[in-house]
Amino acid sequence: MAIKRNVKVLLGTAILSCFIGASVYAATATPNKSPLTPIHEPEFYGSPSSSIASAVALPASSATFSTSGTVPPVLNKDGKTVYERYGNTEKQAEGILKNIEKQLIEQGLSLKDVIYLRVYVTPDAELKGKFDYTGWFNAYAKFFNTKENPTKPARSTVGVASLVSSDWLIEIEAVAAYPTPHGQD
Residue pLDDT, tens place only, 54-94: 999 998 889 999 999 999 999 999 999 999 999 999 999 99
* 13 has a pLDDT exceeding 60: no
What value does the mean pLDDT take over residues 19-41? 55
Claim to verify: residue 7 and residue 85 sit in the same structural domain: no
For position 77, what pLDDT does the model report? 96
Residue 179 CA to residue 185 CA, distance in Å, equals: 10
Claim to verify: residue 101 and residue 25 sit in the same structural domain: no
Claim to verify: residue 119 and residue 157 sit in the same structural domain: yes
* 34 has a pLDDT exceeding 90: no
* 17 has a pLDDT exceeding 70: no
Residue 115 CA to residue 15 CA, distance in Å, equals: 33
Residue 182 lies in a domain: no
Say if residues 82 and 92 touch (Cβ distance below 8 Å).
no
Claim to verify: residue 168 and residue 137 sit in the same structural domain: yes
* 150 has a pLDDT exceeding 80: yes
Claim to verify: residue 85 and residue 134 sit in the same structural domain: yes
For position 8, what pLDDT does the model report? 55
Residue 64 lies in a domain: yes
In the chain, the amino acid numbered 144 is F
Domain span including residue 48: 36-177
Phi, psi (deg, nearest 5) at residue 71 = -110, 165
Residue 185 lies in a domain: no
Residue 183 lies in a domain: no
CB atoms within 10 A of CB 67: 19
- Residue (of 89, 87, 82, 104) closest to 139 by Cα position: 89
Claim to verify: residue 24 and residue 51 sit in the same structural domain: no
Percentage of residues of the chain with pLDDT beyond 90: 70
Claim to verify: residue 18 and residue 45 sit in the same structural domain: no
* 11 has a pLDDT exceeding 70: no
Residue 184 lies in a domain: no
Average pLDDT for the chain: 86
* Three-state SS at 13: helix
Claim to verify: residue 88 and residue 123 sit in the same structural domain: yes
The region that residue 31 occupies, defined by phi over 0 for left and psi between -120 and 50 for alpha, beta otherwise, is: beta
Say if residues 176 and 115 touch (Cβ distance below 8 Å).
yes
Claim to verify: residue 19 and residue 48 sit in the same structural domain: no
Claim to verify: residue 1 and residue 75 sit in the same structural domain: no
39 confidence band (pLDDT: 50, 70, 90): confident
What value does the mean pLDDT take over residues 142-162? 97
Residue 85 lies in a domain: yes
Claim to verify: residue 89 and residue 105 sit in the same structural domain: yes
Claim to verify: residue 26 and residue 63 sit in the same structural domain: no
Question: How many separate domains does the chain show?
Answer: 2
* 168 has a pLDDT exceeding 70: yes
Query: In this structure, what CATH number is given to the domain that contains residue 64?
Result: 3.30.1330.40
Range with the lowest mean pLDDT among 10-14, 96-100, 148-152? 10-14
